[in-house]
Amino acid sequence: MATPNTVPGRVIMRIEISQQAKTGLHDACDRLGMTHVATTSRIIEWFCAQNDLIQAVVLGLFPEDIRSEIPTMILKRMASEKKS
């Protein structure tokens, strides 16, 4: 049985991506001098640190007809949070 002191700080996951995404990731990693694991880990950590609105934008969850309004909505929300 693992104790809190022996549990690793990282978790290994398997993902499925399209060939186009794999090619783009490979190209970016080559250009940046990073491994696929390091790059995807940083992207996922960044994504999880974002608020619900940013996550929804990144995932494309908003209807096409309001997508042009989203940047303004985000900036207004960020400005109101900064004032609070």
**pLDDT digits over 11-56, tens only?**
888 999 999 999 999 999 999 999 999 999 999 999 999 989 889 9
Residue 17 neighbours by CB under 8 Å, 6+ apart? 25
Tokens of 62: 């908003």
At residue 83, the pLDDT reads 80
Q: What is the band of 82 on the pLDDT scale with cuts at 50, 70, 90?
A: confident
The label of the residue with tokens 């929300």 reads 77
Residue 64 DSSP one-character state: G
Domain residue spans of the chain: 17-49, 51-84
pTM for the predicted model, two decimal places: 0.72
Buried b / exposed e over 13-23, threshold 16 CB at 10 Å, is eeeeeeeeeee
